[in-house]
Amino acid sequence: MVARLSGLSPYVLRIWEQRYRAVEPRRTVTNRRLYSARDVERLNLLREVTQAGYNIGQVATLPADKLRQLAATSGVASARDESPKRGRAPSTNGFRDACVAAVRALDARAFEETLRRAATALGGVGVLQRVVAPMAQTLGDLWREGALTAAHEHFASAALRVWLGNAARPFGAVDEAPVLAVATPAGQVHELGALLAGATAAHLGWQVTYLGASLPAAEIAGAAVRKRARAVALSLVYPEDDARLPGELTRLREALSAAMTLLVGGRAAPAYREVLERIGAVIIEDLPQLGLTLDGLRKPSRREKQ
């Protein structure tokens, strides 16, 4: 119920509570959590400010009044205003819509300029979570409706790949940083989600090996093993009923070492939940959860500490 009221996944709720002490709900005699209305309000505020680009570690313990101020000034509250006004920066929806318009027109220069302005206004993580991810969702919806062609989506992927590559340069990982291999499995040709996952990891200091779209399990596993990846991230977007995909996912998990974590996200991931749970994959619901999961994977295991 609290997950529904706050808009956060149960996974993120647990991490925010256990690792960051964002809220401290009371417990019943049977050790069940009891969240108050104040807890729920706090979680909603934290969701808003993290969507605005703040790191949960920076804001988790701030008082509610301070969180309200951050939410009010971050642009989240004004995101309903779709049209930029003179003398004011565009809202996040304004940036998103400008990106979609540039894709419709196949205008790479306008696309990159809009993302550059959005990154200046929102920061690197903010532009990924509040502009690029919603834009990818909108493009997918338009493609399903027949309002955009496959050429438009390929254009968006190519333009985004170039922009993300340039934007990630200041965050270049050190040689000792963990490696994340990113791809979409065979039959999954939409790669915007995979690009987003790779960009998020790069901003968090990971070495990202981007493998591209629609790769067989053996090729993904081979690359991950050669790069000694700590984790493999897959994006599942379309289709949601590929009878071959469960087998591909199973073969991939079997080919990876037990020490490699398999992360799977994307709008089609829930359709394959049964096989994903069976093979022990971590299902990623959104970019904030991806960031938290990657942060957790960076911590050395007990065996590594010994």
Q: Torsion over CA of 290, 293, 294 and 299, rounded to 10 degrees?
A: 170
Let me know whether 208 and 291 are in one domain: yes
Nearest residue to 79 via CA among 36, 122, 18: 122
Range of the domain at 26: 2-73
pLDDT of residue 137: 85
- State the Cα–Cα distance between residues 92 and 126, nearest whole angstrom: 10
What residues contact residue 238 under an 8 Å CB cut-off, 6+ apart? 140, 188, 189, 190, 267, 268
Helix residue ranges per DSSP H, the chain: 2-6, 10-18, 37-51, 56-59, 64-73, 92-104, 108-122, 124-127, 133-145, 150-168, 192-203, 217-226, 245-255, 273-278, 287-298, 302-305
- Same domain? For 96 and 213 the reply is no
Domain count of the chain?
Answer: 3
Distances, alpha carbon 105 to alpha carbons 12, 92, 111, 251, in Å: 38, 20, 10, 41
The verdict on 142 and 177 lying in the same domain is no
Residue 35 shares a structural domain with residue 128: no
Give the distance from CA 59 to its chain's centroid: 19
End residue of a domain, out of 41, 73, 105: 73
17 and 105 part of one domain? no
Query: What's the rounded Cα separation, in Å, for the pair 129 and 85?
Result: 23
The closest of 262, 210, 271, 206 to 238, measured between CA atoms, is: 271
Three-state DSSP class for 26?
A: strand
Q: Is 53 left (phi over 0), alpha (psi -120 to 50) or beta?
A: left
DSSP structural state of residue 221: H
Say if CB 290 and CB 9 are below 8 A apart: no
Q: Where among 168, 194, 221 does a domain terminate?
A: 168
What is the pLDDT, as a whole number, of residue 57?
A: 81
Task: State residue 203's pLDDT score.
Answer: 84
Strands 231-235, 179-185: pairing is parallel
Residue 78 domain flag: no
**At which of 102, 134, 168 does a domain end?**
168
DSSP helix/strand/coil, 107: coil
CATH number of 290's domain: 3.40.50.280
Query: CATH number for the domain including 154?
Result: 1.10.1240.10
Does 114 reside within a domain? yes
Residues 6+ positions from 306 with CB-CB distance below 8 Å: none
* Whether the Cβ atoms of residue 228 and residue 179 lie closer than 8 Å to each other: yes
Query: CA of 170: how far to CAs of 164, 167, 203, in Å?
Result: 11, 7, 9
**CB-based contacts of 151-156 (< 8 A; 24+ apart in sequence):** 151/106, 152/103, 152/104, 152/106, 153/190, 153/192, 155/103, 155/106, 155/108, 156/103, 156/111, 156/192
Query: Is 219 found in the same domain as 159?
Result: no
Per-run averaged pLDDT (10 residues), the chain, 306 residues: 79 83 88 88 86 79 88 55 41 83 93 89 82 88 87 91 72 74 94 91 89 95 96 94 96 96 94 96 90 82 45
Residues 6+ apart with CB under 8 A from 47: 6, 7, 8
